[in-house]
Amino acid sequence: MAHLRRQLITAALAANAVRPVRSMRAGIPSFAAGWLTTELAPQLLALTAADTLVSTVRGRTSRWGRLLALGNAAALTALVTQGSRSGDAVAAVLDSDLGADWTERADPRPTKADLATPWRSVATPFRLRDRAIKVVRDLSYGPAGKRNLLDVYLPSGPRAEPAPVLLQVHGGGWTIGNKNQQALPLMHRMAAKGWVCVAINYRLSPRDAMPAHIIDVKLAIKWIRENIAEYGGDPDYIAITGGSAGGHLSALAALTPNAPEYQPGFEEADTTLQVAVPHYGVYDMAGSTGLRSAELLRDAFLAPRVFKTTWAAHPEVFEQASPILRITPEAPDFFVLHGTNDTLVPVEQGRLFVDRLRAVSKQSVVYSELPGTQHAFDVFVSVRSAHVVRAVERYLVWHRNRFRANRVSAADRESAHQPHS
């Protein structure tokens, strides 16, 4: 009956992946099981088939075990199919939010190979070896020792002009995490395509309370402005991305350019960013949306662990750190991604943040809500993350090309207004 027990476990995992448990206590284990099951569905499907075949040949299964295995295979196949459609889903929102002709600036246009699922990479999801890039590790950008180190991902080939820069901010609930653990598929992809990517550590709670985290992000932007040219990067074009707590910090950094409260001792530094691509971020630290989940997160976790104060005592520090409350008409372009099955940061936060951006910002706002997707879907290579990474790449190339064209047009206009001798 060992086969039957294994299939019962697989059935429970598949059921949780399709319909995760949503509560403060159960959210974390539901996330862990659902995330791995959803993103590793091809591998789990193969294991289910192999287990059933071997058990049947050896006479160690039952009719119920085989029927359950068949149902599991169907559920896992549906998860794989859903992941493979993520590329089409993201492409559809890009067409809708940017206009059908946006691809004319996303040069070069993607080939069929670019749009196909890279099954060879999916087969080894945790193995990232790319000769097209090189990594310079553990450069210091601030005074906080190991927590103020960064890595620079570089294209290995020659570059004809300064490369656009992508800053990656890791997640981990503001309390754990490291620069070499997250968004590796995206950074490898962008570096291989000629970008310079920077991944940072930052100070963590509870040792350091908010706003230490965002101050370090700002300090890293200052370092990029002053030093990235040495590594072939363009200091005038910086995109930012991150997931979860990194999504919060990347959105907050983008919405608070040159904010003196987050730049103590370096108030004069230019910390503006050209575009932000937050993934499954926390956008409401103050409970201002009225979402019960946001209020529970604020009172049960953020207040004692991250801010080290209470909402009642200092509501202003929670409000200052809430991206949804820092949106202005001058906000940069945003591409926001969130999964509908996220049990750690409910998708409603992403929806409300985007609604507010669209109501206030003068710039473009793209929102991709990924069906059946859990938190942290982009940490390693999966069917879904491969498609999403390629879509983010196309979006960032479009944005960079548009930025460059606008800069040339501005220079031409300025030249035309100069007096001629």
State the catalytic residues: 244, 342, 375
Amino acid code (one letter) for 14: A
Cβ neighbours, 10 Å, residue 100: 9
The DSSP bridge partners found for residue 150 are 139, 200
E-only strand ranges, 287-356: 333-339
How far apart CA 98 and CA 383 sit, in angstroms, is: 25
Burial of 32 (0-12, 13-18, 19+ CB in 10 A): middle
How far apart CA 223 and CA 295 sit, in angstroms, is: 35
Q: How many helices (H) and strands (E) does the chain have?
A: 14, 8
How far apart CA 298 and CA 13 sit, in angstroms, is: 29
Residue spans of alpha helices (H) in 307-382: 315-320, 347-360
Cβ atoms of 167 and 221 within 8 Å: the answer is yes
Dihedral of CA atoms 71, 73, 79, 84 in degrees, nearest 10, equals -140
The DSSP secondary-structure symbol of 261 reads: G
* Closest among 195, 315, 182 to 250, alpha carbons compared: 182
Phi, psi of 271 (to 5 degrees): -115, 25
Q: What angle do CA 206, 211, 213 make, to 5 degrees?
A: 70
How far apart CA 161 and CA 232 sit, in angstroms, is: 8
Q: How far from 310 is each of 3, 86, 267, 292, 356, CA to CA, in Å? A: 51, 40, 28, 17, 26
